Amino acid sequence: MGPAAPRPALRPGPGRGRHTRGGGRYVADLVTSGTLVIGFVRSSFARARLGQVDLSRVRSSPGVVAAYGAGDLEGLLRPLPVRFGPGKLYDWHLLAKGSVCFVGEPIALVVGVDRGSVEEACELAEVDYEPLEPILDLDSARSAGAGLVREEAGSNVVFLASKGSGDVEAALASAEVVVDRVFHLARQSACPLENRGVLAEDESLSGELVVCSSTQIPHILRTAVSTVLGRPEGSVRVVVPDVGGGFGLKCQVAAEECLVAWAACHLGRRVVWLEDRWENLVASNHAHDEQVHLRVGFASDGTITAVDAEVTVDVGAHSCYPLSVALEPSSTAAHLFGSYRVPEARVRSLGVATNKCPTGAYRGVGGSVANFATERSLDEAARALGMSRLEIRRRNLLQLADMPYAHPIGGLVDTGDPRMVLEELVGGLDPEAPWLAAIQSLEPAPSPAEGEALLGVGLVVFGEHSSPGSEVYRSRGVTEVPGYDAASVELLEDGTFAVYLSSADAGQGHGDVCRQQVADVLGVAAGDVTVVEGDTGRCPRGTGTFASRFAVAQLSAALRASARLSSRLVEAAAARLSCEVDEVKRDGEVFSSGSGDERVSLKELARWLYVPDSGRLGRSLEVPFAESGYWDDGPTLPTCAMLALVEVDPETFQARVRRIAALEECGRVLDEAVVLGQLRGGIVMGIGDALLEEHRYSETGDLLTSTFMDYLVPTASDVPRLDLRVLDDDRLHSRRSESGAKGVGEAGTIGAVGAVGCALAEAVRAAGGSLDELPGTPLRLFRSCASQGAEGSGVLR
């Protein structure tokens, strides 16, 4: 078979219109006839010792080419070292070996001619399980005698970090008011509309293993694949075709990705695995599932005196690669009270293993619950102190004058003005809107008349830790994430430029933004710049696309490379024009010498460099005429203020978000349409997190939400009116990033979880309830009222 090489992810400029009629090229579109299809036998037990795995009936099933269990891979495929805490690595056997620890864990890999035959064959596997009592929640995981989810860890508390400053207990003891509450966010998952998918082929000609994957982290995936296969990195090429959304799910390396790569080599065939939605919901990665216990002290004037926090995350059955179980606990902790002045703080964060699907990233990560917890505590304190919700925030928000601010929880805040962001949001509101009164009032909202909707307004101000650099990951003990991003910019023989990026697009529109930015630095038309990303064969190594890295880390690297190349162009022009570098004048695409008689166009210069008249070109003129750039100065901290107005049916407790207003300050705005697009999409996702999305397990550890009928994501009917504005103020541009941008990928989600969550809490308060758990499903809202004995009052008469 001589299949066409997988299409590299070369993105044509304005051509996104191709999507309206199937012009995208996702992994599923790369399947050619003759491609073998892979499926997996997956554990039907949450916790069991694994006896014999007999695949003989699988192998003889029609259409099956091969089937492998862990035993068959012995000596052929190495485990992937993944980590719990700093320094604690363990071997992740990509097919379960000896035991299974969650429903859906891959036990055997089956290769066949089509997915139907493979699924049929998978049913025939005979697996001996010796079931054990599954550990399914934090309490049982921590109780004595529960046993261990992962023997390697030696404890079910698989991650533990703490950070503290000053004497928090003393500060709390002398506080006027202490808010002491526990906040929860359910287990959720990212659910990009395109499930995961991998296609791999060991090219016989080049000897290169090509892995086309729907991933956000091509370079990290390459490292993982080369590690498990024991192949030199240079012989593995990861190519990212169109990606139908990632939202964090695809910044974990999946066991399946490595196994598919292995099967391609082992069989010498082009193979593909297209995850289905059941697999995606049951066995990809979940996220969140955590509680935040806050004790926050306030002085009588409303200023925060101390924060004591304990974050506990149910991380599921495995650590994830590369971000590790450190991800959610660390990120949650880091986002607490991020936009506020905090004199004293102590934070502990824990990751606890259970026999549930492993967790990883989902847009917003820990920022979402941190925002809800932070802002809910402020609301409670305002009430206790007889202060308006607006006022308590005004008294505590950081301002430009505080910068740089050494935040005792989140670390250094280099620039920003959260107070100004809040004032801009509030100042721009329609003065008639009910929310203004709600946040300014000293009194809680009055109970509505019988039968009328319960209304609630939520107000939040928060920062998003975007583009964390190597320092952040190393401080969590994570060495699998580089932390930097890199770019190279090359002048080609025809006088146009190619930019190679370490990132991978999942629909954010990187190409368009980058092309324009780079063209501006190089002084050429955007049409002369081609952007290439998502291909480890051509692009420099870097971290990838998550944590709002693109406009910050990736663009900074590209801009640095472009600036370097731009000055080298001048050097080349000087050589060509036989003048000194500082005599070269540039007018558009034409360079001239000081005297102005000698001129050379960019195209001529390029041609001269690549097809020299003689071999006398100097070192600085050598080809490829390219420069690279690198950026590792994160994180940056964009700021957002958001207001949500919700209504709750006082009888059925169904909630609806009516309006959201937000003001986003994300440094320099490179492309307002992209910024607004990220905000809108993020907000609606956050509405899902706050109202609908929730994974549930049965007592035996089976996922009850394994289809889109049961795991509910927002639809068009959940969309409120959105009033979004972007604040671009020179004084607030990032000093760290070259672009001045601070990142905008997750603010919408983080903000909506907090703002809608706080609004729901206000709404049920009017019915005597109190809400500290999200999502605010009707059942949860009902219980929040019923548990306060308030069910009868003002509710069903």
Complex with other proteins: residue 441 or 654, whichever CB lies closer: 654
Contact track, other proteins, 524-553, x by CB under 8 A: ------------------------------
Nearest to 283 by CA among 524, 94, 127: 94
Shortest Cβ distance from residue 525 to other proteins (Å)?
Answer: 21
Euclidean distance between CA atoms 153 and 325, whole angstroms: 12
Q: Do the Cβ atoms of 599 and 588 come closer than 8 Å?
A: no
Q: Could you say which residues in the range 766-785 bind other proteins, by CB under 8 A?
A: 777-779, 782-783
Complex with other proteins: residue 545 or 592, whichever CB lies closer: 545
| AA identity, residue 320 | C
Contacting residue, 2, 17, 596, 789, with other proteins by CB under 8 A: 17
Contacting residue, 267, 384, 429, 786, with other proteins by CB under 8 A: 786
Shortest Cβ distance from residue 420 to other proteins (Å)?
Answer: 26
Shortest Cβ distance from residue 124 to other proteins (Å)?
Answer: 12
Complex with other proteins: residue 628 or 654, whichever CB lies closer: 654
Name the segment binding other proteins (CB under 8 A); options: 101-109, 271-279, 376-384, 734-742. 271-279
Euclidean distance between CA atoms 532 and 529, whole angstroms: 10
Question: Which residues have CB under 8 Å from 582's CB, separation 6+?
Answer: none
Contact track, other proteins, 25-64, x by CB under 8 A: xx-xx-x---------------------------------
Euclidean distance between CA atoms 556 and 735, whole angstroms: 11
Q: Could you say which residues in the range 435-474 bind other proteins, by CB under 8 A?
A: none
Name the segment binding other proteins (CB under 8 A); options: 17-25, 40-48, 202-210, 595-603. 17-25
CB atoms within 10 A of CB 594: 13
Shortest Cβ distance from residue 72 to other proteins (Å)?
Answer: 25
Contacting residue, 74, 432, 716, 730, with other proteins by CB under 8 A: 716
Tokens of 360: 């990883």
Contacting residue, 712, 723, 725, 728, with other proteins by CB under 8 A: 712
Three-state SS annotation for 308-323: EEEEEEEEECCCCCCC
Name the segment binding other proteins (CB under 8 A); options: 428-436, 469-477, 628-636, 678-686. 678-686
Complex with other proteins: residue 374 or 678, whichever CB lies closer: 678
Contacting residue, 211, 609, 684, 744, with other proteins by CB under 8 A: 684
* DSSP state string for 132-176: -----SHHHHHSTTS--S-GGGSSSEEEEEEEEES-HHHHHHT-S
Q: Could you say which residues in the range 137-176 bind other proteins, by CB under 8 A?
A: none
> Pairing state of beta strands 177-188 and 773-774?
parallel
Euclidean distance between CA atoms 140 and 780, whole angstroms: 23
Place of tokens 């492998």: 68
Complex with other proteins: residue 170 or 796, whichever CB lies closer: 796
Contact track, other proteins, 320-359, x by CB under 8 A: ----------------------------------------
Q: Could you say which residues in the range 635-664 bind other proteins, by CB under 8 A?
A: 651-652, 654
Euclidean distance between CA atoms 490 and 502, whole angstroms: 15
Contact track, other proteins, 728-757, x by CB under 8 A: --------------------x---------
Name the segment binding other proteins (CB under 8 A); options: 47-55, 366-374, 484-492, 712-720. 712-720
Contacting residue, 412, 525, 581, 704, with other proteins by CB under 8 A: 704
- Total residues binding other proteins (CB under 8 A): 74
Contacting residue, 177, 570, 722, 726, with other proteins by CB under 8 A: 722
Nearest to 365 by CA among 330, 338, 339, 337: 330
Tokens of 585: 């004048």
Per CB under 8 A, does 115 bind other proteins?
yes
Q: Could you say which residues in the range 348-407 bind other proteins, by CB under 8 A?
A: none
Q: Could you say which residues in the range 555-594 bind other proteins, by CB under 8 A?
A: none
Shortest Cβ distance from residue 248 to other proteins (Å)?
Answer: 12
Nearest to 116 by CA among 170, 64, 178: 64
Q: Could you say which residues in the range 120-139 bind other proteins, by CB under 8 A?
A: 120, 123
Euclidean distance between CA atoms 379 and 459, whole angstroms: 9
Euclidean distance between CA atoms 214 and 223, whole angstroms: 16
| AA identity, residue 780 | R
CB atoms within 10 A of CB 74: 9
Complex with other proteins: residue 633 or 689, whichever CB lies closer: 689
Burial class (CB in 10 A: 0-12, 13-18, 19+), 406: exposed
Contacting residue, 1, 7, 23, 71, with other proteins by CB under 8 A: 23
Shortest Cβ distance from residue 759 to other proteins (Å)?
Answer: 18
Euclidean distance between CA atoms 519 and 562, whole angstroms: 9
Complex with other proteins: residue 31 or 563, whichever CB lies closer: 31
In the beta sheet, which residues pair with residue 179? 296
Euclidean distance between CA atoms 322 and 360, whole angstroms: 9
Euclidean distance between CA atoms 371 and 356, whole angstroms: 25
Contacting residue, 7, 12, 19, 474, with other proteins by CB under 8 A: 19
Contacting residue, 61, 195, 285, 737, with other proteins by CB under 8 A: 195
Euclidean distance between CA atoms 434 and 446, whole angstroms: 13
Burial class (CB in 10 A: 0-12, 13-18, 19+), 307: buried
Shortest Cβ distance from residue 744 to other proteins (Å)?
Answer: 13
Shortest Cβ distance from residue 587 to other proteins (Å)?
Answer: 34
Q: Could you say which residues in the range 215-254 bind other proteins, by CB under 8 A?
A: 242-245, 247
| AA identity, residue 293 | H
Q: How many CA atoms lie within 13 A of 210 on its CB side?
A: 24
Element (H, E) at 227: helix 218-229
Q: Do the Cβ atoms of 748 and 368 come closer than 8 Å?
A: no
Contacting residue, 189, 355, 466, 508, with other proteins by CB under 8 A: 508
